[in-house]
Amino acid sequence: MLGVMDLQALLDDLAAEAAPFAAHGKVADYIPALAAVDPAHFGIALATMDGQLYGSGDWQTPFSIQSVSKAFSLALVLARDGESLWRRVGREPSGSAFNSLVQLEYEKGIPRNPFINAGALILIDRLLSLSGDSLGTLRTFLRAESGNANVDVDPEVAASEASHGHRNAALAHFMASCGNLGNPVETVLDHYFRQCSLTLSCGDLAKAGLFLANHGLRADGSRLLTRSEAKRINSVMLTCGTYDAAGDFAYRVGLPGKSGVGGGILAVLPERGILCVWSPALDPKGNSVAGVEALDRFTTRTGWSIF
C-alpha cells in the first residue's frame, strides 16, 4: 500500500510526465465554447475510501464534464427504476461513433448502450419522468457527493451546445418516432445540453464518484445502489465508457472509466477510490490523450487495476 506522501508524489510525477502528451491531441472544436479551452491544462485527483484527497496540476480548476455526467445519470435512474431501464437501451459496446445515426436507425431506436449520446438521451428522458427535473436531480446529487455547493451549469457552454446540437436533436427525434422517448424532444434536449455543461474540478468529480468504488454507498453512508447495481454500472463503464475506444482503454488502463469530450475521465478503483484526470486535447475517438496516458502510468506503477 502506497503511503500518503507516496500517493502525492506519484500524482506529481504523473502530471509532469503525462501533460506533454496533450500536444498529440486537439480540443473538441465542434462545440465552440470547448474549442476556446487551453489544451495545455492538465489536472489529476485521487479520492480514497478513507477520506483522503490528493491532486496535482489543474486539479482544482472546474471544467465542462460533458459525457462523464452520463455515469451519474445512469446511477440515478437505476436507483429509482431498477432493471426496467434495459428494455429501452442496451449494454453492448457500440463500435461506432458516439453520435451515430446509422446505428440507431439499424437498431430501430434502441441505443446500443447508455453512454453513447442516444443512450444518454434515454437516461435523461427516464429521469425526467421519475423526478420531474433531470438536471436538478443530477446537480443536487453532485453537490452533495462532492461537498461543493457551487456545482452548476456553465451557461456559455450550454448555449454553445444547444446552438450546435443538430445531430443530438436528430437522434432524439428518431427515438421519439420509434416510441422510445416519453417526454417532449425539446425538453429532453434542454436537460441534456445543460447536464453536459455542468462544471466540476477533478477533485469534485473524484469525490462525487466514490459511491462507485464503495459498492453503491453514498458519502453520508446511505445506500444509493445495491452492490449488484454498482457492479453493473462499473461493468458498463469498462466496456462502453470511452466511446469506441473502450477495448484500448481496458487494455491500457484496466479500470472502469467514463470519459467526456471536455477532456475529463473518471476511473473507478474498486474498494480503493476514484481517479479523475482532465486534459482537453482529445484523440480521434474523443478521449483525453494525456488523461489516458496518466491513467495507464498510474495503474502500471501501482498495480491497482481490476485485472
Candidate list 77, 151, 185, 261, residue with the active-site label: 261
Q: Cα(103)–Cα(112) distance, rounded to whole angstroms?
A: 8
243 part of the active site: yes
- Could you tell me which of 170, 171, 174, 80 has the C-alpha nearest to residue 132? 80
Candidate list 37, 70, 134, 160, residue with the active-site label: 70
The per-residue DSSP string of 106-120 comes to HTTT--SSTTSHHHH
Do 10 and 2 form a contact (C-beta atoms < 8 A)? yes
Q: Cα(254)–Cα(303) distance, rounded to whole angstroms?
A: 10
Candidate list 64, 67, 259, 279, residue with the active-site label: 67
- Could you tell me which of 180, 228, 201, 210 has the C-alpha nearest to residue 273? 210
Q: Cα(297)–Cα(246) distance, rounded to whole angstroms?
A: 17
Candidate list 134, 157, 192, 292, residue with the active-site label: 192
Kindly tell me the number of DSSP H helices and DSSP E strands found in the chain: 14, 8
192 part of the active site: yes
Listed in order, strand segments (DSSP E) in the chain are 43-48, 53-57, 63-64, 152-153, 198-200, 257-259, 264-269, 273-278
**Residue 152: strand pairing partners:** 199
Tell me the CB-side half-sphere exposure of residue 1, using CA atoms within 13 A. 5
Q: Give the residue numbers marked as catalytic.
A: 67, 70, 192, 243, 261
